[in-house]
Amino acid sequence: MKTVAFHNLGCKVNTYELEMMQQNALKAGWKIVEFTQKADIYVVNTCSVTNIADRKSRQMLHKAKKNNPSAIVIAVGCYAQTDTKGASDDGSVDIVIGNNHKADLVTIVEQYEKDHLNRVVVDDLTKSIDYEDYNISDFKVRSRADVKIQDGCDQFCTFCIIPYARGRIRSRDPRLILEEVKSLSGSGVKEVVLTGIHLSSYGLDFHEEYSSYNKAAGQEYTNYDLLDVIEAVHDIDGIERIRLGSLEPRVITDDFLMRISLLTKVCPHFHLSLQSGCDETLKRMNRRYTTKEYADRVSLIRKYYDHPAITTDIIVGFPAETEEEFEKTCRFVEEIDYYETHIFKYSRRHGTVADTMSGQLTEAIKAKRSDVLSEVCERHKKGFMEAVIGEHEEILTEEIIRVDGKDYTIGHTKNYIMMGVEGSFEENTLIDGIVDGFLQNDIMLLKTHA
């Protein structure tokens, strides 16, 4: 029996696709072992969103070959897609597989074992391709599961390599989405996260002007969009929560919020990508909104939801970002009052417009700005959490931790605050109570009604 070890880097889409590759490996009769163990095959599901992600991908590929020099080491995913030559020239890598051939992993390995010829299986994703679909029938998770419904991005932000790594936008057939969510519900999963590379673009390629990009769902879904998917998933019995992946501000409209606010299963947790709180910087980034437009969307959310979690991503140290521009971002973050902010130091990506821009900043400046903004964001996060003390909340249990000699079962509320309740409870259980302060720095204490 072949043994295979997997290692995943990157986003929720990668996590979902790793699940698919593991399922296919099991169906082929392979045995999955830990990545630290000796295996016949090592699969690294790579990421390329930053230079650091590229480096981590290479490090894990080298670690795999060190674990077993005679093993077949496979680079799959975004790093394999964007630096195919670098991956294929790496002495630690035996096979390179692009983003739209992950489902073919077993077949590619079996063919390679026969002739050792086809080492590189990577397509040009800048051309028109259909959505690569696969059905995951055996889910390891019990509480929260990612459901990929979209791939690709047409935004071409000047800093981003992802459109080249993932290709043009393409949406999953709604029938297959619902089939998978029903399967999840049948296995006991209570919460699903609808995710994609550019989730807000879901359904655009069903429109006539995009018809050459994706014919998988045919003309039946010409006017089908993200909101239609959310409403259809909401009707599935057994699913208690629906969480949305990262959204673009443009989808946040009165109509969108009015309709989803009627759906009780939708979590009041909105991740709206910002990247910069300065209009001049946003323009250089090719982001398609202004700070006023963004702030107006946040105000709309707060019109329909009480205490929603607003989270975001911000890049500091973008080319030519002045101290004044950075201060504008800090003031904007203060104004929006985020729950959580993921801060990234700008990373040059070969092949992007920003890589050729003048005014590249030093790593020292980026690090300093990251530290300054982190302090602002941590203060707002604590304030958001403190605001729910004394309120009634409900968590979906995930795991048990030990604090001061006692067992606590932790989980997340609908607005994604982590809380712990004293005692050991089964995973995937809904527990409600009153918030009674902090258990740890980032974990609140929930007192049950019992």
Give just the sign of the alpha carbon dihedral 242, 204, 305, 382. Answer: positive
For residue 141, pLDDT beyond 80:
no
> Minimal CA–CA distance to 281: which of 317, 246, 249, 248?
317
pLDDT tens digits, 241-276: 999 999 999 999 999 999 999 999 999 999 999 999
Query: What are 368-386's pLDDT values in tens digits?
Result: 999 999 999 999 999 999 9
Q: Looking at residues 34-47, what average pLDDT do you find? A: 96
The two tokens of residue 355 are: 């890589």
Q: What is the pTM of this model?
A: 0.91
Residue from 307, 308, 193 nearest 240 by CA? 193
Number of residues assigned to the chain: 450
Tokens at residue 15, please? 């996590």
Residue predicted with more confidence, 121 or 219: 121
pLDDT at 420 over 90: yes
Q: What is the pLDDT of residue 443?
A: 97
Model pLDDT, residue 213: 46
% of the chain beyond a pLDDT of 90: 86
The per-residue pLDDT for 369 is 98
- Residue 400, beta-bridge partner list: 409
Closest CA to 92 of 114, 73, 119: 73
Q: Where are the domains of the chain?
A: 3-121, 142-267, 392-448
Q: How far apart are CA 345 and CA 361, in angstroms?
A: 10
Residue type, 424: S
Structure tokens belonging to residue 66: 């060190």
**C-alpha span between 155 and 309 (Å, rounded):** 25
Confidence at residue 140, expressed as pLDDT on a 0 to 100 scale: 67
- Helix locations, 5-130, DSSP H: 12-27, 51-67, 78-82, 84-89, 105-115
At 192-206, the pLDDT tens digits run 999 999 999 999 988
User: Could you say which of 3.40.630.30, 1.10.340.30, 3.90.600.10, 3.30.750.210 is the CATH number of the domain covering 142-267?
Assistant: 3.30.750.210
pLDDT band, very low/low/confident/very high, at 127 (cuts 50, 70, 90): confident
Considering the domain 3-121 in this protein, what is its CATH number?
A: 3.40.50.12160
**What's the rounded mean pLDDT across residues 27-52?**
95
The burial of 166, by beta-carbon neighbours within 10 Å (0-12 exposed, 13-18 middle, 19 or more buried), is given as buried
Token pair of 107 as six digits: 């077949």
Whether residue 223 has pLDDT greater than 90: no
Residues 6+ apart with CB under 8 A from 150: 169, 170, 171, 172, 195, 196, 197, 198, 199, 201, 202
- DSSP secondary structure letters along 115-156: HS---EE---TTS--------------SSEEEEEEEE-----
Q: Is the pLDDT of residue 450 over 90?
A: no
Average pLDDT over residues 75-81: 95
Q: Are 2 and 17 in contact (CB under 8 A)?
A: no
Please state, rounded to an integer, the average pLDDT across all residues of the chain: 93
